[in-house]
Each structure stands twice: as structure tokens, then as C-alpha cells.
């Protein structure tokens, strides 16, 4: 076993002794994070551990059941040198402290060799659900990654759920107090969050280790490569939960999935397994859970060995003609959400549905 190095940092906010955990990244390499503290937040502690052993539930509170599927065999690759990379419910990062490091409460950001790694690791919401504050942190991390020397961005998540979409309990609490002010604030937060993905110039690779719901699934077409575990599944039940589409899904889903399937997902909340999403073009490749993280890291490192200029210019050629159209769609979708939440009828419908779901649990 490798020797443990002593540290002076706090672990999950306490001074308890260090537990064994497996690293997502190469634990022998400690690298500085190149992040600007625009928000005046505190420095990262030297050790950050995220633990999530709670049952998997979505933002409404219902259980998340994994759809079964048959998966084709993945290409065998040499993974001996990558055994330390795992998607695990527990995650520890040793980060060297300096003045340029800034603390993120609900995400983990790590500067790797040639790429920036952002992990959703929410401490303030269940199953990596999104709030305006979490979306703001992701935007800040994207802004920093766009200005550093990384060649691409890897987005993944800690725990068994990639992202459960908007935090509906947060919506109920905020919109109940001041619906006009809060509807504008939340809609603008979603708009700016989605816009950050649209405008990001470097390639974005997403590793989906589990369920992706709502906005967590809608942003995937705005990224460049999506790799999924066999355990992942995708659902955008906007109409079911009395919301209109977000994340440009009203445009990207019909373009990628076809109008018929897109309507089923957006209007009826149809759930796609990882294999179905791959066959329809929402996902690039599907891997077995036991080797998922190794396969992702091998491919990301291969991409990171390419020229930064080539990667950025290639993305520009592929997406430049879509950019303005996506920004328009994003603006219209968020304007519609704002109108919906500002109206008493739309708000009452949302509250009624969510309260019914909470009482059913």
C-alpha cells in the first residue's frame, strides 16, 4: 500500500483522522489550481472529501430506479496504469494552497495535466441538484478554465447521480416569498449558466456516471463529447412537473433525437437508458461501470495530448454557426420560465404538483 502523507487540512469541516478512499485523479500528483477568486471566497483546505451514502432520490423526492439494458462490449485497453481513477461516492483531493486558489462549496475543481476537471459535488442540495448559487460556481469555474492553459474541460460528478436538475424544494421556498423578484433572479441564473456552456471555446467532455435529469440532461447537447456509464439514464420531465423546457432542449433535442422522441421526453417525461441515448446521438459511447472512469481518463488524456489551437479551432468550425441561434433559444426559454413563475396560475400549478409529490413520499 502507498504511504499516507500527513496533512494539516480539515476533512469535511472537521479535524477527524484520515480515512481510506480512492482517488479519481492520480493521487501522486498534486497540482496547483489556476482559479481567480472573484467572489472573495476562502482558500481551499488541503484535503477535501465528499461522501454521499444516502439513498438516491431525485429533486422531488421519488426514488431513482436504474433502467436495465444490454450493452455492447467495450474495446479492451491497457488500464493498469489508471487503476487509481474511480468514480466513487467518496472523494479526496489534496490541493496545494496558495492565494490564487478559491473555495467552491458545491463543486470540486482540479487542474490536471492538459485539462481542467470540474466535478458536481453539492453540499447544499440532494443528488447534485442545481440552485442559482451552484450554477454561479460552475460559471466561475468555466470562466477560469477558459482563460488558463488547459486544452479542454472534463465535467463529471461525485456520487451515484450526475445531476437531478433544478432543486425544486429551493424553487418552492424562494418563489413562495417573492415570486416576481425570485422568478427573475432564478431565470437569469439559468440563462447565464446555459450561456456559459454555449460560449465556452474549448472542448467540453462530460462523463455521466448516473442519472441525468432536467437541466442536467438538457445541457448535454451544448457539450462536445458525452460518455456515459451503463448505469446512466436520461429524463427531462418538464411538462410533467409544470415547467417549460430549459437548457436549449426545445431546439437541440428535436435536432438530435428527432421530433417524435424529443416530444416524448419534453412533454411526457420519457426516460432513455444509456444505450438508447447512445443509439439516438445524445451520448457518444457507453462503458461498463467497472471500467468507466479508466476509459474516460484514457480518452481525455489522449485528447489533451493534441494541439490546443487545433482543438479550439475545430470546435469553432463545428459550432460557430449554431452559437447565435442557441443564445436566442436560451433567452426565449428563460423568458418563458420567468413569465410562468411570475404568474399566480403557473406558480400555483407548480406548487400543487410538487406538494403532491412530497406528500406521496
8 A C-beta contact, residue 219 and residue 188: no
347, three cell numbers:
406558480
More confident site: 345 or 21:
345
**Is the pLDDT assigned to residue 29 strictly greater than 80?**
no
Average pLDDT score over residue span 262-278:
96
- Which pLDDT band, with edges at 50, 70 and 90, does 343 fall under? confident
CB 91 within 8 A of CB 21: yes
pLDDT tier for residue 30 given thresholds of 50, 70 and 90: very low
pLDDT tens digits, 154-212: 999 999 999 999 998 888 888 888 888 999 999 999 999 999 999 999 999 999 999 99
- pLDDT tens sequence across 36-90: 444 444 443 433 333 444 444 443 344 444 443 333 333 334 344 444 444 444 4
CA distance from start to end of the chain: 44
If one counts every other C-beta atom within 10 angstroms of the C-beta of residue 348, the result is: 11
Q: What does the alpha-carbon distance between residue 213 and residue 107 come to, in Å, rounded to a whole number?
A: 18
Using DSSP's 3-state secondary structure scheme, residue 191 falls into: helix
Show Cβ contacts of residue 291 under 8 Å, excluding neighbours closer than 6 positions. Answer: 74, 79
Q: Which three cell numbers stand for residue 126?
A: 440532494
Q: b vs e for 135-170, b when ≥16 Cβ sit within 10 Å of the residue's Cβ? A: bbbbbbbbebbeeeebbbbbbbbbbbbbbbbbbbbb
Least trusted range by pLDDT, from 62-71, 101-110, 249-258: 62-71
Say how many C-beta atoms besides its own lie within 10 A of residue 116's C-beta: 25
- Per-residue pLDDT of 274-325, as tens digits, reads 999 999 999 999 999 999 999 999 999 999 999 999 999 999 999 989 999 9
The sign one gets for the Cα dihedral 339, 236, 206, 313 is negative
CA pair distance 352, 355, nearest whole angstrom = 5
Q: Is the pLDDT higher at 273 or at 98?
A: 273
Rounded to 10 deg, the angle between the 132-147 and 179-199 helix axes is 30
The pLDDT of residue 356 is: 63
Element (H, E) at 112: none
pLDDT on residue 171: 86
pTM above 0.85, yes or no: no
Query: Which range is least confidently modeled, 34-38, 241-245, 246-250, 324-328?
Result: 34-38
Long-range (24+ apart) CB contacts under 8 A made by 182-186 are 182/341, 183/337, 183/338, 183/340, 183/341, 183/342, 184/338, 184/342, 185/132, 186/132, 186/337, 186/341
Beta pairing class for 212-213 and 233-235? parallel
**Residue 126: strand, helix, or coil:** helix
Mean pLDDT of 259-280: 96
Amino acid at each position: 500500500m502507498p504511504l499516507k502523507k500527513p496533512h494539516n487540512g480539515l476533512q469535511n469541516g472537521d479535524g477527524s483522522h484520515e480515512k481510506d478512499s480512492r482517488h479519481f485523479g492520480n493521487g501522486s500528483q498534486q497540482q496547483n489550481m489556476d482559479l481567480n477568486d472573484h467572489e472573495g471566497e476562502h482558500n481551499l483546505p488541503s484535503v477535501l472529501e465528499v461522501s454521499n451514502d444516502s439513498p438516491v432520490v431525485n429533486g422531488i423526492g421519488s426514488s431513482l430506479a436504474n433502467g436495465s439494458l444490454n450493452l455492447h462490449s467495450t474495446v479492451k485497453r491497457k488500464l493498469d496504469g489508471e487503476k487509481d481513477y474511480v468514480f466513487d461516492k467518496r472523494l479526496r483531493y489534496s490541493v496545494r494552497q496558495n492565494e490564487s486558489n478559491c473555495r467552491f462549496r458545491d463543486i470540486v475543481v482540479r487542474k490536471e495535466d492538459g485539462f481542467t476537471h470540474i466535478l458536481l459535488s453539492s453540499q447544499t442540495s440532494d443528488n447534485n441538484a442545481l440552485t442559482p448559487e451552484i450554477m454561479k460556481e460552475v460559471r466561475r469555474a468555466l470562466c477560469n478554465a477558459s482563460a488558463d492553459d488547459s486544452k479542454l474541460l472534463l465535467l463529471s460528478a461525485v456520487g451515484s447521480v450526475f445531476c437531478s436538475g433544478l432543486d425544486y424544494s429551493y424553487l418552492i421556498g424562494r418563489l413562495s416569498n417573492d415570486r416576481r423578484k425570485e422568478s427573475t433572479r432564478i431565470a437569469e441564473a439559468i440563462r447565464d449558466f446555459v450561456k456559459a456552456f454555449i460560449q465556452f471555446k474549448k472542448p467540453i467532455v462530460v462523463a455521466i456516471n448516473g442519472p441525468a435529469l432536467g437541466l442536467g440532461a438538457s445541457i448535454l447537447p451544448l457539450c462536445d463529447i458525452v460518455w456515459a456509464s451503463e448505469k446512466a439514464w436520461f429524463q427531462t420531465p418538464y411538462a410533467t412537473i409544470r415547467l417549460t423546457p430549459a437548457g436549449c432542449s426545445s431546439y437541440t433535442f428535436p435536432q438530435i433525437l428527432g421530433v417524435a422522441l424529443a416530444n416524448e421526453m419534453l412533454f411526457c417525461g420519457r426516460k432513455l437508458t444509456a444505450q438508447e441515448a447512445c443509439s439516438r446521438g445524445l451520448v457518444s459511447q457507453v462503458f461498463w461501470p467497472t471500467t468507466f472512469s479508466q476509459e474516460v481518463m484514457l480518452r481525455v488524456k489522449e485528447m489533451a495530448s493534441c494541439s490546443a489551437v487545433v482543438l479550439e479551432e475545430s470546435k469553432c468550425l463545428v459550432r460557430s454557426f449554431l452559437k447565435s441561434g442557441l443564445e436566442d433559444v436560451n433567452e426565449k426559454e428563460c423568458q418563458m420560465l420567468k413569465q410562468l413563475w411570475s404568474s399566480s396560475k403557473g406558480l400555483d400549478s407548480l406548487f400543487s404538483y410538487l406538494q403532491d409529490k412530497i406528500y406521496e413520499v
